Structure formats: structure tokens, C-alpha cells
Structure 1
């Protein structure tokens, strides 16, 4: 068991599932709230090894009263790209959602994106569950996400340690739209964030006078 756990932690570290939680001040979290005008939706991200197909990281974007990402033990926000509390990332505008997805795709991993439209009430329950879960220990990304989804879909989703298995369960929940992102950057995915300038993105979004 100890050998299995250490191996899982090593794999998780490569894929971004072994990071320290960033805890932002409450006022910063509140100020960052972003409401997306699309339908209420759950988006499951599964990071898959290009060689073996094994799952390496799981996260969940939720579009409800605001749009957030539950990124359990994730490494994306180590440089404090967005406000975060208890492994929930806030201020998930379209540019942030895009860079988040691309951050996890590289020459050794691709990202499976599964989108499921839900009721606004279901989306808000998901946000509340993610916020209540709190910070997640290393290598428990799939476990924590599946516990949240099992609470929303009792009998249809069972808690699991395996990202790929959770992806398979999520696919049975309804009309799930699936896409996959492949990119071929090096495993040092910090360059994705280094090249991303949020101030430049914000300026580009302002119409010219």
C-alpha cells in the first residue's frame, strides 16, 4: 500500500495534483466573482497520459451564480493567477478558462473536457459543495471531485481515486459534450503562465474609443 501511494503521489506531482493551496483574503475572493452568461454547467477536466492513457489529474469547472474551478491539489494557481480559497479558484473569465485548459496540455498529457448542462440550482449546489470541501491533500483530486459529484448524483457517481474512472462515470450522467485538447509544449508548463498577461487580456477586452 505504501509503495502504491508513493507512486500515485509521484505521478500526481508531474500532472499538477500535488500543490500547496493558495488562500486569498475573503474580500479579494468576493471582488473576483465572475458571472458567465452561458448556461448553468458542470465541466469535468481529466488530464490523461498520452502514452498510457492513465488519468493524472481531475478538476471541475462550475458555472452557476458565478463561475469557479474546483482544482483540488492543483498546481495552476501557485503563482496566484486568480484568487483562491480552499482549492476553489475564482474569477474564471473566458481567458482564464482557456489558459487553465492549455496549462494542463503538453507533450506528455492531454486534457479531456466533458461539459454537462444542469439546472441553476444544481450548479449552485455544486459550488457550495466545492467551497465546503476545503483544501485537498496531494493525490486526492479525483477522490474529492467524485465525492462532490456523488453528492449531486447519488447512485450514479461513486467516489473513486482514479481520474479516468470518474470521467467514465461522468459520461453517463446525460448529454455530455466531449472534447480533447492536445498540445506539444515541454513538461515545464510554467511557460504557459509566463506568456499569459492578464493585464493585456483585460486591455484587449475594452472597446476602442
Structure 2
């Protein structure tokens, strides 16, 4: 077998194992319509999905609450909602109801969700918002790696570790003095047909959240 053919085979294996990025680009009208501004302090919030059986980290997401809007960077995630437009793994319209649904989607009988928040200045929050929007679509299994790369470029977080492991980011946020919250749920592991998507359309400053 030639060396060049071996490289081709290895490349195909990597793409099969990790999965290619899935670019998405919602229209400007959709993003503008969904924009949500929170009255909470400007901050960065790390969400870590952790297996209940062995405590292994399964997924990472980073929410940025900036003065202009609150958005979620959910790299290579499966979370989707028809009222939350997405641009390359950045989900807009993250109202309180949308955040609650994001947590409910991930927390189940086999997984807990750790939510860790660090308050930052408005300027740092806007910088972080720009960084998640410019990063691009993320390949599968690269969620923690992409978030660690983004954090390392943000003032005050340049010491963030470069890692592929969600739990390492959790420990980093803990060491930075993050406020933590544990979300637990006993809903079935296969939630694809069991979780009702609430109405998350924004009307002025109000969020319609009809989970019934």
C-alpha cells in the first residue's frame, strides 16, 4: 500500500469517526427577530453534560450574555428548536424559557447538566459574543476543544486549557470561581419523541413559553 493511499484511508477514518461540521446560516431577519436581551449581569455560562454512571463529560456548551443579546454556542450539538435560529452552532433567542428547554433537552436518566456562570464586564461579553459568531461550524467530538480555543482568546480567560475533555473545562470554571448549579432529571434517555418543544417566539420583551 502506498503512503498516499494510506493517508486517504486515514482521512476517511477520521471523518467517519468524528463527523464533519454541519454549517447552518439563518437569515438576518430570523436572527433579528429572535434577538433576546437579558436583564441579568453580563456573563459567560458553561454547560457540561455529564454521564451519571461514570461522571464522564459528554458535551459542552457556552452561553454568552452580552449587552446586545444572549446567545448559545452549542458546538457540534444536536439541540434544535424551530423558533431559535442558528448560525454555525450559535443559537439565537436564548430567553429564560429557551435556556430551560436547552437544559431539559440534555438532562435525563443517564445525564446530569452542570451550569457554571462567571460574571464579566460588558466589553468582555461583547468580545466573547463576537468570537463565538466568528468561530464557524464545529465537527463532531470537538465541542470542548472549540470552547477552550475561544476562551483562551477572551480577556481574563487566556489561561484556559486546550482540551478535548468537557470535564477539564468544568474544573477550570470552578477554579475561576464560577457560580454552579446542578440539573438532574429522570426522564428516559431516548427523549426524541418525549420532550415537547415549547413555543419560544418572542413578542416584544415577552417570551411565550407554552410547554403544555
TM-score, with normalisation over the residues of structure 2? 0.81
CA distance in 2, matches of 1:146, 1:96: 24
CA distance in 2, matches of 1:186, 1:19: 28
> How big is the shift at 1:193?
4.2
**Contact kept in structure 2, 1:56 and 1:163, CA below 8 Å:** yes
> How big is the shift at 1:125?
0.7
Aligned length: 193
1:132 correspondence with 2:134? yes
Match of 2:75 in 1: 72
CA distance in 2, matches of 1:129, 1:135: 12
**Pairwise mapping of residues 187-206 of structure 1 onto structure 2 (< 5 A)?**
187-191=189-193, 193-198=195-200, 202=208
> How big is the shift at 1:76?
0.7
CA distance in 1, matches of 2:147, 2:116: 14
Give the alignment partner of residue 57 of structure 1, picking from 56, 59, 64. 59
> How big is the shift at 1:126?
0.6
> How big is the shift at 1:190?
2.5
TM-score, with normalisation over the residues of structure 1? 0.83
CA distance change for structure 1 residues 53 and 129 in 2, over 3 Å: closer, same or farther? same
> How big is the shift at 1:150?
1.0
Q: CA RMSD in A?
A: 2.6
Structure number with bigger Rg = 2
> How big is the shift at 1:86?
1.2
CA distance in 1, matches of 2:24, 2:189: 22
